[in-house]
Amino acid sequence: MDLSQNVNAVREKIAAAALAAGRKPEEITLCAATKVQTDETIRAAIAAGIRVCGENRVQELTAHLAAGAYAGSAVHFIGHLQTNKVKQVVGQVDLIHSVDSVRLLHAIDSQADKLGLVQDILLEVNIAQEESKGGISPRDLPDLVRAALDCGHVRLRGLMAIPPISSASGANRKYFSEMRNLFVDIMSEMSDNQSVMDCLSMGMSADFEDAVAEGATLVRVGTALFGSRPPLVSSR
Ligand SMILES: *Cc1c(COP(=O)(O)O)cnc(C)c1O
């Protein structure tokens, strides 16, 4: 596996998908999903040009931070976050993608308050309304947006979604398009608010080009950069 070749190949596909959709390639951030990767691989990815690493599990995040493995890169938390683990994440990462309840939101806000900082967050939407998945339902999203805007130590930056593992190519486009509509609706409602809604996080190895075509500003890619992972034991 040649990591820099993979990074370049993914970037080229992002750029091609952006141009085909009339977008600028630089509007899209490539976030490397580094779950199960070693410190060494993370350093190699950063050396190959990765500027955002996305971590899924608090334990791995903490270990890589302690090792200084992310030097030169921003760090995002992209996995399911339990309320009792916010202390290990708030203030340690540049962006938390997975806020999906008022309870979690308030835990993050109060920890950020304690640390005297403002934590950037995304709200995770369960766009395909899958029972097994985290994320707020589209119906309940407006209330969570309002709650986020009421928090003094949280800055709402946008939305995130993990649609179903796509079997057929193009199968998730409708979900990406629905996410884009939710994102635009919220932005227009917030036009007088000082929050910057600039991040729509969607698309993974199997479907990031479709996500870019539908307006993603950040794609989270693991397998296409690092190769396939050993089967995961669920962290939920
Ligand atoms: C693992 C993971 C990804 C990347 O998945 P790939 O299919 O390997 O590209 C993206 N987002 C989240 C939240 C993940 O857990």
- The rounded Å distance from CA 164 to ligand 1 centre is 12
3-225 CATH fold:
TIM Barrel (3.20.20)
Please tell me whether residue 200 adopts helix, strand or coil conformation: strand
- pLDDT at 165 (0 to 100): 83
| d(CA 33, ligand 1 centre) in Å | 6
Q: Please work out whether the CB of residue 134 comes within 6 Å of at least one atom of ligand 1.
A: no
In the prediction, which pLDDT does 168 show?
77
3-state secondary structure of 65: helix
Q: Is the CB of 222 under 6 A from ligand 1?
A: yes
Atom index in ligand 1 nearest the CA of residue 226 equals: 8
Q: Which residues contact 227 (CB under 8 A, 6 or more apart)?
A: 1
Ligand 1 within 6 A of CB of 61: no
Ligand 1 pocket, residue 112 CB under 6 Å: no
The per-residue pLDDT for range 174-226, each reduced to its tens digit, is 999 999 999 999 988 876 665 688 999 999 999 999 999 999 999 999 999 99
- Is 205 near ligand 1, meaning CB less than 6 Å away? yes
Distance 163 CA to ligand 1 centre (A): 11
Nearest Cα residue to atom 11 of ligand 1: 220
Q: What residue's CA is closest to ligand 1, atom 2? A: 33
Burial zone of 195 (CB within 10 Å; 0-12 exposed, 13-18 middle, 19+ buried): middle
How many Å apart are CA 188 and CA 180, to the nearest integer? 12
CB-ligand 1 contact for 86 (6 Å cutoff): no
Rounded Cα distance, 34 and 52, in Å: 10
- Record the tokens describing residue 161, joined without a space: 């979604």
From the CB of 157, is ligand 1 less than 6 Å away? no
Give the model's pLDDT for residue 130: 93
Instruction: Kindly provide the residue ranges of all beta strands, DSSP E only, lying in the chain, ordered along the sequence.
Output: 29-33, 52-55, 74-77, 95-99, 119-125, 154-161, 199-201, 218-221
Question: Alpha carbon 68 to chain centroid distance?
Answer: 21
Check the CA dihedral 11-222-62-127 and report its sign: positive
One-letter identity of residue 171: A
Q: Tell whether ligand 1 has an atom less than 6 A from the beta carbon of residue 221.
A: yes
**Does the Cβ of 163 fall within 6 Å of ligand 1?**
no
Q: What is the reported pLDDT for 230?
A: 74
C-alpha distances out from residue 150 to 99, 124, 169, 193, Å: 15, 18, 40, 11
pLDDT < 70: residue spans in the chain = 167, 191-195, 231-236
The predicted structure's pLDDT at residue 189 = 80
Cα dihedral: 113, 101, 37, 15 (round 10)? -100
Q: Which pLDDT belongs to residue 191? A: 67
Rg (CA), the chain: 17
